Amino acid sequence: MRLVTLNLLMCNSEECSGRNQALTLNPGEITPGTTQFNHDLTIRMLGKLDWLAFVNAALRLGHELPDNITEADHQNSELIQRIFDILFNVEIQTGELLCPNCNRTYPIEKGIPNMLPQDH
């Protein structure tokens, strides 16, 4: 799973329904990706990200990012490249996702987070 996907995910427990509740990443095994940098794609993604959730997830992987991102930052090619790499060139193979609201955990195995309700 890449961080772009994680950023779209939310807790889907009954308790968190309607909250768009972001999940906290506890990474296990991580592999690097080899995707070629794409500036326009990154800019387009910036508009879609839940930035705060992204900053938190990046921090879990040891990458520090600014709390805010402005139009002016779009010209900062070093920063944009870094954002691209965090979004697309980190493959989370194992680990878990934790919901800070209801405490539910979702395991990640073989690069796939399991978001199915656990009783089924």
Partner 1 sequence: MNLLKIARNIMNTKKKEATALKGLMKKMQKGKDHIMKNENFSQYFQDEPSADMFLLHYSDGQERDFSIIKSHLSSYGEIKNLVVIPGINYGFLTYSSIDSAISAYNSVNMPLNLLQFPSKPHQISLIYTPINVRELKIVQGCWCSLNVPVPGLNLEQEFITPEEEDFLANHIDELSWSPLTNRRVQQFGHDFLQENQPDIAIPEFFNFILDRLENELGIRFDQITATEYIPGDFIAPHLDAHSSFEDTIVCLSLNSPSSMNFRHPEGSEFNQFLPPRSILALTDEARYLWKHSVWNRKYDIFEGISIHRRRRISLTFRKVRNVRCECNFPSVCDRNEEKLIIEETKDLNPTSLEKDFVFDTYDKIASHFSHTRYKPWPKVDEFLKDQEPFSLILDIGCGNGKYLYDDPLCRIGTDRSFKMLEICAERGFSVFNADCLNVPIRSNSVDVAIEIAVIHHLSTSSKRIQAMKEILRVLVPNGQALIYVWAREQTERAFTDQDCFVPWHLNKVYENEEEDTKGEQSNDPDKVVYKRFYHVFKQGELESLAKEAKIDGWKFEIMKHYYDRSNWCVRLKKVKDEE
Residues that bind partner 1 (CB under 8 A): 1-2, 4-5, 8-12, 20, 35, 38, 40-41, 44-45, 48, 50, 88, 110-117, 120
The nearer residue to partner 1, 4 or 98, going by C-beta atoms, is 4
- What's the rounded Cα separation, in Å, for the pair 120 and 118? 5
Q: Pick between residue 9 and residue 65 the one whose CB is nearest to partner 1.
A: 9
Give the whole-angstrom CA distance, residue 39 versus residue 36: 10
* Cβ nearer to partner 1, comparing 64 with 116: 116
At closest approach, how far in Å is the CB of 45 from partner 1?
7
Q: And the tokens for 86?
A: 């965090």
Residue with smaller CB distance to partner 1, 45 or 98: 45
Q: Using CA atoms, how far apart are residues 89 and 58, in angstroms rounded to an integer?
A: 12
Nearest approach in angstroms of CB 116 to partner 1 is: 6
Residue 12 Cβ vs partner 1, minimum distance, rounded to whole Å:
4
The per-residue b/e assignment along 12-30, b for 16 or more CB within 10 angstroms, e otherwise, is ebeebeeeebbbbbebeee
